[in-house]
Amino acid sequence: MRLAGGNRQTGRQRNWLSTVGMSGTASLGLLIAGCSSDPGGSGDTAAATPLERGKAYYTTCAGCHGNNGEGIAAMHAPRLAGMDSEYLERQLLHYRADIRGGAADFYGVMMNGRAKALGEDDQAVSDVVAYIATLPEPKCSVSASPFEAGRKHYATCVACHGESAEGNKELNAPSLIGLEKDYLVRQLTNYRNDVRGAHPDDTLGAQMKVSALVLEDDQAVEEVSEFVASLHEPLPSSAN
Ligand code: HEC
Ligand code: HEC
């Protein structure tokens, strides 16, 4: 996979500094202060671990996605905690390259700017994703769902997303556990309307687009989303 591995050290410090310049939040300032006063350290911000850098980058995300990555419905920002790291990395790189988002994607377009602001190379993307991987995962409670109509539609999704919407790493299909109904409806509608998954470089999105078109109408989209959204217990909320 082109995103994984490789030497992405180059420009890390430049990245870091541009992120700090972009954000100016208190916690970034503190972290920097902590780094430069490290008695054993070189004073080089590159000495921070990926997790420390990722945590600092995440302060620019928390206002919308929540301190625990649980998502904030009022901001239309989905849960990130518990999502597969490769999936998250791919989405961020797609936002950076305008493969996802864009003017037709009312809520997605704000992520284009956020993802690009992470830095000049992709190291910051892996760092922030490494941090997100440490946030608490939502719990699943599949048997409790009362939404039978949605469960029937979901039968066409099982092969890729799994019985409990837990996702399938081999098929690159993300977990859907913990995503809100409105977010799910929007993504499925975006896939169906060529707003997501239509870019020629979005091979996996194109697969999902075909699957979204299997749902017969908007009501089916609503019902399957209601069902999937019922498969989880809410994450502990940290936000407002
Ligand atoms: C201004 C609010 C806002 C900020 C700040 C923000 N996001 Fe988002 N993010 C959103 C919204 C809204 C969406 C959903 C877009 C959609 O509906 O398609 C989203 C979507 C995403 C997705 C796609 C999730 C998925 O399940 O496909 C990822 C990944 C993501 N954001 C990561 C981040 C990271 C990392 C940061 C910080 C660097 C960040 N976001 C900052 C609002 C924000
Ligand atoms: C052929 C396999 C396949 C099937 C069947 C499938 N999906 Fe997907 N789905 C994927 C892949 C792969 C992705 C990730 C695309 C990407 O990485 O951009 C995805 C992404 C999604 C997303 C976006 C998640 C997010 O966090 O933004 C949603 C929502 C979704 N699928 C719902 C469904 C539903 C509901 C069904 C059944 C109607 C379904 N999928 C059927 C493969 C599939």
Q: Please name the amino acid found at residue 208.
A: M
Per-chain mean pLDDT for the chain: 81
Nearest residue (CA) to ligand 2, atom 21: 208
Residue 1 resides in a domain: no
In this structure, are 146 and 119 located in the same domain?
A: no
In this structure, are 125 and 152 located in the same domain?
A: no
pLDDT tens-digit map of 106-138: 999 999 999 999 988 899 999 999 999 999 887
Provide φ and ψ at 195, rounded to 5°: -85, -30
In this structure, are 23 and 116 located in the same domain?
A: yes
Nearest residue (CA) to ligand 2, atom 32: 188
Nearest residue (CA) to ligand 2, atom 13: 173
User: How many Cα atoms are found within 13 Å in the side-chain-facing hemisphere of 64?
Assistant: 13
In this structure, are 118 and 18 located in the same domain?
A: yes
Where a domain ends, among 84, 101, 136? 136
Domain limits at 219? 138-240
In this structure, are 86 and 34 located in the same domain?
A: yes
Tell me how far CA of residue 23 lies from CA of 29, 95, 127, 174, 216, in angstroms: 9, 19, 16, 30, 44
CATH number of the domain to which 29 belongs: 1.10.760.10
Q: How many domains is the chain partitioned into structurally?
A: 2
Pocket of ligand 2 (CB under 6 A): 78, 87, 90, 156-157, 159-161, 171-174, 176, 179, 184, 187-188, 204-205, 207-208, 211, 214-215, 224
Contacts of 69 (CB under 8 A, 6+ apart): 58, 79, 80, 81, 82, 132, 135, 235
Nearest residue (CA) to ligand 2, atom 3: 160
d(CA 202, CA 151): 28
In this structure, are 99 and 192 located in the same domain?
A: no
Residue 41 resides in a domain: yes
Where a domain ends, among 136, 157, 177? 136
Residue 66 resides in a domain: yes
In this structure, are 91 and 130 located in the same domain?
A: yes
pLDDT of residue 150: 93
Among all ligands shown, which has an atom nearest to the Cα of 181?
2
In this structure, are 177 and 238 located in the same domain?
A: yes
The arithmetic mean of pLDDT across residues 36-61, rounded, is: 68
Mutate to test the pocket of ligand 2, among 76, 208, 226 (most ligand atoms within 8 A of CB): 208
Where a domain ends, among 101, 136, 171? 136
Residue 6 resides in a domain: no
Residue 3 resides in a domain: no
pLDDT tens-digit map of 134-189: 998 877 665 666 788 999 999 999 999 999 899 999 999 999 998 999 999 999 99
pLDDT tens-digit map of 9-37: 333 333 333 333 333 333 333 333 322 33
User: Is 226 a residue whose pLDDT tops 80?
Assistant: yes
Q: 155 C-alpha vs ligand 2 centroid, how far in Å?
A: 13
Among all ligands shown, which has an atom nearest to the Cα of 127?
1
